[in-house]
Amino acid sequence: MDFQKLEKLMDHFTSWRIPGCSCVAYYRHKPVFKYSSGYADVEKGVKMDCDRHKMFMYSCSPPVTCTAALMLWEQGKFLFTDSIGDYMPAWKNVRVRAKDADGADITVPAEKSITVRDLFTMTSGLDYSTNGDAFRAAQEKYAPQCSTVDMMNALAGDPLFRQPGGGWYYGMSHDVLGALVEVISGMSLRDYAKKYIFDPLGMEDTEYCDGTIKESDRAATLYCFSDEEGRYFRNGGQRNDMIFGTEYASGGAGIASTVTDMAKFAEMLANGGKTPDGKHIIGRRTIDLMRRDALREDQKADYWFPGYGYGLGVRTLVDPTAAGATSAPGEFGWTGAAGAYMLVDPDSQVALYYAHHMMNNQEPYTAPRLRNTLYACLED
């Protein structure tokens, strides 16, 4: 194995338009690559460091949230076919946005209940809108705490984007799933993940954050790339706007962590759900279910990963030719709004976690190159 190609690729990213990036990879359950390029803070000249610098992982949070939920599923706490209204009654009689014959905005009753499976697979009918009257009223009522369950119960009072069980659409489904974990387990998502996932894996620098990164001196600066100006600039704030209160744990976007820590999670999934010392987190067969395409073809109109299907909170490779991928079917993972990228391949015993910290993250450029270069390095 020779990882010079991957190092050069990351150096290319930081000479191109990424301020700084880090990557850790495992092969056959051993760490084989750790590298950082560029800066955590360009203006101050602070070099990026895999172990030290914390970032908002945004949508690389759902694989953790879905793992937490699947751990409860393994205990028989719920079935995928269950209505979420059975656990969170506020979701029993939801309505859906529609148009009347004259094109005016109206709402209509949902044609079916939202199931737990719908939450996992992003087919619940939820989008990422949090501007509804019910949700905003709850923000005012519960501020500054705004707990996960309170806010997700309030979200049920605003109409869905589309009918439940219809097409895939990326939205608040995994935030609701996080609330479901809290209701079923009797613990906050923060505490549940820490006790059953983060602590066993030694992920000491990982948490569902309160919107900020603790130990601010370890926070990588959050940048934003301007397409209009063709450059990145320092973000106006160092806050995750998907966190709605101090007690709100966002299942869809809430994790703050280091690349080194998140690579431990990816490696656990590649290792059949076990920690390096053999502690059981989640079952191998459950991981296989997680990475199986769960969408019908008619549900994929809005899905944006060519060659990939969508499993239980993760993309999953189904057609390497269409994806332009050198990995094999069943490779899975997800990405984040600020540049995080997770790849897990249990069959090849490969795990990779990469992140930079820039909104408008250039994912279509970085993600496939990271994947293909990784496999090329493993063969060198």
Q: How many helices (H) and strands (E) does the chain have?
A: 11, 16
Tokens in use for 26? 């495992």
Please give the pLDDT value at position 246.
96
DSSP 3-state of 321: helix
> Can you tell me the distance from the alpha carbon of 168 to that of 296, in angstroms, rounded to the nearest whole number?
9
The domain spanning residue 184 has which CATH number? 3.40.710.10
Q: Of 74, 77, 150, 81, nearest to 121 (Cα)? A: 81
What is the domain count for the chain? 1
Structural domain boundaries, residue 114: 46-318
41 within some domain: no
> Can you tell me the distance from the alpha carbon of 171 to that of 160, in angstroms, rounded to the nearest whole number?
10
28 within some domain: no
Residues of the chain with pLDDT under 50: none
Please give the pLDDT value at position 235.
84
366 within some domain: no
Q: Of 181, 245, 235, nearest to 212 (Cα)? A: 245
What tens digit of pLDDT does each residue of 110-119 get? 999 999 999 9
What tens digit of pLDDT does each residue of 295-306 get? 999 999 999 999
102 within some domain: yes
> How is 267-295 classified by DSSP, letter by letter?
HHHHTTTB-TT--BSS-HHHHHHHTS---
348 within some domain: no
133 within some domain: yes
Please give the pLDDT value at position 372.
97
In DSSP terms, 350 is beta-bridged to 27, 345
364 within some domain: no
Please give the pLDDT value at position 237.
78
38 within some domain: no
